[in-house]
Amino acid sequence: MMLRRMDSMMVSFEMTETLLAVALTLAAFVCLFDRHLLRATLCFIGFALLLTLAWWRLATPWLALAELLLGAIVSGASLLFALGVLPTGAALKPRHDRFPVPLSHGVTRLALSVLWLVLMAAGVRHALPAMALSPSEEPLLIAAGVWVACALGAFALHRHLLRRLLAFNVLGSGVFVLLAGMAGPMLAAQLLILVGLCIAALGTLLGALLIRRLYHLEGLEALDPDIDKTVAQ
């Protein structure tokens, strides 16, 4: 779709797409960086729904359907389950991520994210030389690059398991959009995305189950509860 429109070679400003991209990016940011877990999760569901819209806009209805089913419903439900919201019961008690973030971690992750953004940009630029002429034509592509960089940074930064799972999901969506955006309407790309979506949903489901189980068994919210202790030694 995007590529097809490129034939016209005229500089146009796709309002809807841009809005979508901005909304998605905002949702992604909230999802990634809000310490309130439920809010972040709900934001993610919103993100997934918006993304369904985006797939629809990009004329890949199958992917839209898959995103709706797998991304919004399955993943969302899984995450809510992990939070203990869905079937009411033993919820994750502190609904906030209360792990402190040392400054050095934050700075390094930020730096990494920025560099990754550069990396994304370079990749897109070299893969699609034509895009350099009209970067504004591909707001979703640009947004997806931002998601990827931020999600990776968030994944590396966060310790709370649910937030890492969220980061993974955002990262996945970003990658899929990038893939779709760069490869265009190829069936191969769609298949890749479909597989990716399935796997992401399965992974999220599995992760959510594990998070619940771990919390249930050990009261754990992070992978390395004793990291500070061991590093200090």
Partner 1 sequence: MTTLLFVLALLWPLAVAALTLAARLSPRPEKAPGVASDLSLRFSRVFRPFSWLWVSASWPALLLAVSGEARWQWEGFMLGGLWELTPLTRPWLLFTALLWTLAAVHAKGYFKGDLTADFKDETLPERSASAEKRRGTFVLALFWPLAFAGNALLILAQDIASFYFGFALMTFAAYPLVVQAATQEAWRGGRVYLILAVMGEAFILAGLLWAAGAAETLTLSGVREGIASADAGIWMALLLFVGFGVKAGVVGLHVWLPLAHPVAPAPASAVLSGAMIKAGLLGWINVLPLGDVSTQGGLVALGQGILAVGLIAAFAAALYGVWQRHPKAVLAYSSISQMGMLTALVGVGLVTPEVWSLLWPAVALFAAHHALAKGALFLGTSISEHSPRWPVPLLWALLALPGLSLTGALAAGMVSKWSFKSALYEAEHALLIKLLTFAAIGTAALMSVALWRQWQRRQVGGSDGYQQGGWLLALAAALTAPLWLPLPQASPVPPLKEWWGLVWPLLAGVFMVACAVALLHRRRGRLPPAGDAWWLYAVAARALYRPLAQVGERLARMKQACVELALKWERRAMAAVQRCLFAEAWLRHHVGGLMMALALVLAALLMWEGGDFWPGR
Partner 2 sequence: MNWRWGWEAATFAPEPGESWALLAALVLPLMLGGLAALRPPRRAWVVLLAALPLLASGAALFQAVQGVALLTWSVSFDDVTLALRLNGVAALLVVVTQLIGVVAALYTAGLCRLDESAGRSRWLWPLWGVLLSSLSVIWLAADLLSLYLGLELMGLTAVGMLLLSGKAEALLAGLRYLLVALVGSLLYLLGVALILAHWGSLELAQLTEVVAPEPVAWLAAALLGAGLATKAALFPLHAWLTPVHASAWTPVSALHAALVVKASLYLLLMLWSLLIPESHVAPLLLGLLGALAIVWGSLAAWRADSLKTLVAASTVAQLGYLMLAFPLLLGPEMAPEVQTLAWQGFWLQLLGHALAKAAMFMAAGNLILATGESTLAGLAGTSRRLPLSLLVFGIASVTLMGLPPSAGFTAKWQLLQAMLLADLWWAIAALLLGTLLSAAYVFRLFRYSFIESAPRKTYRPLAPGMEGGALLLALAALLLGLWAHYPLSLLQGASA
Number of residues that bind partner 2 (CB under 8 A): 44
Closest-CA residue to 174 (of 207, 198, 141): 141
Listed in sequence order, the residues at least 6 apart from 95 whose beta carbon sits closer than 8 Å to its beta carbon are 36, 37, 38, 83
Which of 13, 61 has the CB closer to partner 2? 61
CB of 15 vs partner 2, minimal distance in Å: 26
Continuous H helices in the chain: 2-6, 15-33, 37-57, 61-66, 76-83, 103-127, 139-157, 161-183, 187-218, 227-232
CA distance 170 to 96: 19
CB of 214 vs partner 2, minimal distance in Å: 5
- Residues 135-174: x where in contact with partner 1 by CB under 8 A, - otherwise, as a string: -----------------xx-xxx-----------------
Which of 7, 226 has the CB closer to partner 1? 226
- Are the C-beta atoms of 144 and 179 separated by less than 8 Å? no
Select the residue interacting with partner 1 from 33, 73, 108, 214 (CB under 8 A): 108
Which of 19, 142 has the CB closer to partner 2? 142
Residue labelled with tokens 């479909």: 194
- Residues 147-186: x where in contact with partner 2 by CB under 8 A, - otherwise, as a string: -x---x--x-----x--xx--x--xx--xx-xx--xxx-x
- Are the C-beta atoms of 10 and 33 separated by less than 8 Å? no
CA distance 71 to 153: 21
**Residue 122 burial class via C-beta count within 10 angstroms: exposed 0-12, middle 13-18, buried 19 and up:** exposed
Q: What, of partner 1, partner 2, none, does residue 114 touch, CB below 5 to 8 Å by kind?
A: none
Select the residue interacting with partner 1 from 77, 86, 112, 192 (CB under 8 A): 112
CB of 221 vs partner 1, minimal distance in Å: 15
Contact segment (CB under 8 A) with partner 1 among 4-12, 58-66, 118-126, 172-180 equals 118-126
